[in-house]
Structure 1
Amino acid sequence: MYSTQFLPFVVVHHIRCQKIFKYYPFRFNPTLKRFVSMNSPHGDRMFKLLLLTMLSYTVSVSCHLLVASMPVAKKFQGFAFCVMYVTILGSSWNYNLDNAHIQMINSCLDFETKISEGEAKLEKTLQVKAMLIFFHILKESHYLIPLACLGLTLMDPCTPPFILSMSKSCSVIRWNGLIILIPLLETYLCFCVFYIGTTPIVYNLFAGISSMLSYFQLLERKISKAISLAEIDSCVSTYRMVQLIEKIMNAFLMESVVPSLICGVPLLQIVVQYATITMHGEIAMPVFLILWAEMMMPPWARWQPRRRRGAGKNVERRVEVFTLGTLGPVCVETERDLPFYSRARPRWLPWVEWWDRRVEYPFPTIFPVIQLEATLNNIVIFTLASWVFNSSIKSLKKLDGTTLQFVRRSVIRKKLKACGTLKIKFGSNFIDSGTPLVIQNFCLNQTMSLILMKEGKRNFGM
């Protein structure tokens, strides 16, 4: 349930949000054991300014990616980041500082306080264990993705859709002045997007779905132990309280969070599937982890330049280096012309020679990773959301069947008829058991259509 499984994650996440942005308007009160608003006018203004800044950044990089002339491979690479930014910002936009998301969490905590009295602790089901593993992965991704963006920018300033790619002189940028502040500021905005922006997605939608399934598990256990009309009536009251939680949850999720995910994540999956299949030889593999390892090398271990073969005494001295930006050996005039992260290729690292021979068609590792995450989200999360609808139908049928053994059951049956099925809504629709299959069918069909269109244009051009 929420108080036992997910509350520690939410508390730690809110503390980190306050460390990243001092004026984050919500916090956890350890005395009340509930989430409260800060009620600071200055802090509210600063948080609104942050939202406008993130919106301006997302719009600017998206417009530049749309109108700029660059290779199709780079446009797809930048489009993946833009889709993530738009999806996260669209699901977390809260300019009016509405506290609906903390009200939903507090309602779950209050409900669990009432129903857990005198009840044995629920065992962790498979869906709870899977969600906890997913939460641990997301907890690390919140800071790894912004650091990865910083590494990509330092490695290649022309990488779209980042700010420096808007400059025509991005290929000759040197990291030896105040220009280093631009990628640092962009990294800070990415931290704000992925920490503050993902809060309603992860801790309201994902944790809320898992908690609802735990409530149905507790309800079914109470129904199986009921031996009197009073206990059946208590089970019906519990179901109606779960129904109230579902209304509070949908009032917040159905407006922006669920529609953003249903529109954004399948689009992201289509883009990365198409790019991975058709452009794996055009998008260079990001090696920013090698960049960080190289930057942290001690001075005594730095690589020394060597003389290029065939260079005589009367020929100007040139240095052959292994640069991370070009993924291969290039020649520069002197070692001083190198970027601060580049060094000459060492003789004592044989894997560099192996890499030089096999780097002709580097595989784009970012896109398969994003594809895996998007596919898991479209399958796992939407499947769990559909289980809410199926579990409510199962509980109502079980309650109706249990009342048949009693004589005076008319009042209970009238209460049961007043109970509706529970569901995770988006707009006027809801997520049922067929939604994940429909989404995957749509993604695969659109990906195949794009591939066939590309092959058709290629054959027509020939």
Structure 2
Amino acid sequence: MYHIHYIPSLKCELSLCKFLKCIPFEFDPKAGNVIKWVKHIQIVRLQCVLSVAYTAAQFANVFFGELSLTGSFQGAAFLPLYAMATVVRWNYSGDKEPIQVVNSFLSFEKKILRAKLVIMWSTILKLATNVSDLPDPSKSNMFCKLMRFFIPFAAGAFVVTIVLKFILLTFAPCTPPFLLSIVEDCGKTEVALLHLFESWMAWHMFTAGGWYTLYIIFAGIESILSYIFILEK
């Protein structure tokens, strides 16, 4: 369930997002849910616009630039990741719909699902039946178990990806579709700040896009399947 399996990693991910200022949300420990965070909304909007511009520059470089056929195919392998991150993380107006999804799961678990489990426990004790009849969310289907492993793993993998990108640009600065590959004599150009800028772009794009994808879509699907498993019992 969402509260049991994802809240610890969700708090860590939101703390990182707050540090990067890439999404307008934060976790409120007093309320026990996710709230809107408007203190740095202008930075969030700037990052959204930069993400579009950065992805558009990569797109133009791959399809309209002077890359070789091999370079175009190489750039096309990276481009979908940035395009997907740009689309998923876009929240220029700071809409609250994403956190309403998370808070709905948390509210459902606190009120409806908890009440049902209490009733089931009472029924089992009254009938003196085996306690093992009570459904255990951890014994759900294989998809749910894989999601509980995959989501924290993927969130950590994004950070590793940023480090690997910086290393790649340091030793192979002309790699398409990144910005330095647009320059004709990129092999003779050493711009460390540009590598840091591109790594920062990837960091906030993947972190924001990953949060929406992992904790709204994947965690949401897994939680719904867990609810069905419990309610069917």
Match of 1:163 among 179, 185, 206: 179
- Answer 1 or 2: higher relative contact order, Cα 8 Å, separation at least 6: 2
Which structure: larger Rg?
1
Aligned counterparts of 1:15 and 1:123: Cα–Cα separation in 2: 27
Distance 1:19 1:39, change over 3 A: closer
The CA deviation at 1:69 is 2.2
Letter in 2 for 1:8: P
Match of 1:51 among 35, 42, 48: 48
Letter in 2 for 1:106: N
Q: Is contact 2:138–2:145 with CA below 8 Å preserved after alignment?
A: no
- 1:8 is matched with 8
SS in 1 for 2:34: strand
SS in 2 for 1:35: strand
- 2:189 is matched with 173
- 1:271 is matched with none
- 1:70 is matched with 67
SS in 2 for 1:27: strand
Aligned counterparts of 1:155 and 1:39: Cα–Cα separation in 2: 39
Report 1:277-356 matches (<5 A). Answer: none
Aligned counterparts of 2:155 and 2:139: Cα–Cα separation in 1: 20
SS in 2 for 1:107: helix
Aligned counterparts of 1:61 and 1:45: Cα–Cα separation in 2: 24
SS in 1 for 2:138: coil
The CA deviation at 1:139 is 2.0
Aligned counterparts of 1:84 and 1:37: Cα–Cα separation in 2: 27
The CA deviation at 1:132 is 1.6
- 1:31 is matched with 30
Letter in 2 for 1:110: S
- 1:288 is matched with none
Q: Is contact 2:61–2:67 with CA below 8 Å preserved after alignment?
A: no
Aligned counterparts of 1:16 and 1:210: Cα–Cα separation in 2: 23
C-alpha offsets along residues 344-364 of structure 1, whole Å, 9 cap, x if unaligned? Answer: xxxxxxxxxxxxxxxxxxxxx
Aligned counterparts of 2:90 and 2:230: Cα–Cα separation in 1: 34
- 2:138 is matched with 123
SS in 2 for 1:98: coil
Aligned counterparts of 1:89 and 1:163: Cα–Cα separation in 2: 17
Aligned counterparts of 2:156 and 2:56: Cα–Cα separation in 1: 27
The CA deviation at 1:91 is 2.0
Match of 1:95 among 85, 92, 96: 92
Aligned counterparts of 1:29 and 1:91: Cα–Cα separation in 2: 23
SS in 2 for 1:123: helix
SS in 1 for 2:139: coil
- 1:86 is matched with 83
Letter in 2 for 1:11: K
Q: Is contact 2:173–2:180 with CA below 8 Å preserved after alignment?
A: yes
TM-score when normalising by structure 1: 0.45
C-alpha offsets along residues 216-252 of structure 1, whole Å, 9 cap, x if unaligned? Answer: 101111xxxxxxxxxxxxxxxxxxxxxxxxxxxxxxx
SS in 2 for 1:96: coil
The CA deviation at 1:58 is 0.7
SS in 1 for 2:184: coil
SS in 2 for 1:39: coil
Aligned counterparts of 1:211 and 1:136: Cα–Cα separation in 2: 15
Aligned counterparts of 2:139 and 2:77: Cα–Cα separation in 1: 35
TM-score when normalising by structure 2: 0.87
Report 1:25-424 matches (<5 A). Answer: 25-40=24-39, 43-114=40-111, 115-117=113-115, 118=118, 121-125=136-140, 126-174=142-190, 179-221=191-233
Letter in 2 for 1:116: R
Aligned counterparts of 1:30 and 1:190: Cα–Cα separation in 2: 29
Q: Is contact 2:162–2:199 with CA below 8 Å preserved after alignment?
A: yes
SS in 1 for 2:6: helix
SS in 2 for 1:216: helix
The CA deviation at 1:161 is 0.7
Alignment size in residue pairs? 214
Percent identity, aligned pairs only, is: 28
Q: Is contact 2:155–2:210 with CA below 8 Å preserved after alignment?
A: no
C-alpha offsets along residues 176-196 of structure 1, whole Å, 9 cap, x if unaligned? Answer: xxx210000110010001101
Q: Which structure's residues are more often helix, by fraction?
A: 2
The CA deviation at 1:122 is 2.5
SS in 1 for 2:137: coil
Letter in 2 for 1:28: F
SS in 1 for 2:80: helix
The CA deviation at 1:67 is 1.2
Aligned counterparts of 2:218 and 2:67: Cα–Cα separation in 1: 37
The CA deviation at 1:66 is 1.2
Letter in 2 for 1:161: P
